[in-house]
Structure 1
């Protein structure tokens, strides 16, 4: 069942995907981490390809361990809204 939070999350994802401005690396990492936590939760997987870049992404995601998927969705939405305003 799709709830209001899921709809807002999908809308925020579409908005973030349309951004053409270059965002600071820390903001990009937060977007990545909140998204991964929202869709995968604590089911971490690490891609060893692309070494350092993926290590930073994985670390950002790991820092959210224990955060609920709904909370991660809300944080993602909040971050996207703060970027596009």
Structure 2
């Protein structure tokens, strides 16, 4: 599969995810999806502590840091797989 096909599948998964209600997903799944999305879209996290850093952001940052070893393509594949699994359970 080439890069363009992966990007198309990733954008389709993002579109599917945007139609899902957050209340339908457990928080751990939301964090995992967030981390995959951020890694796929921006690459490895660049930690920047700011004064408005709260507990919610700490969990999000931690989730992203835990998968920072993945390449952007690996993160896209895992995001697509997770979204497809969730969508197929409905």
What is the TM-score of this pair, normalised by structure 1? 0.89
Partner SS, residue 34 of structure 2: helix
**Alignment partner, residue 42 of structure 2:** 40
**Alignment partner, residue 62 of structure 1:** 65
What is the TM-score of this pair, normalised by structure 2? 0.85
Q: 1:43 to 1:19 in 2, by over 3 A?
A: same
**Alignment partner, residue 5 of structure 2:** 4
Distance 2:71 2:20 in 1: 26
Distance 2:48 2:61 in 1: 6
Q: Which runs of 5 or more structure 1 residues have no equivalent in the other structure?
A: none
Rg bigger for which structure?
A: 2
Q: Which runs of 5 or more structure 2 residues have no equivalent in the other structure?
A: none
Task: Number of aligned residue pairs: give it.
Answer: 84
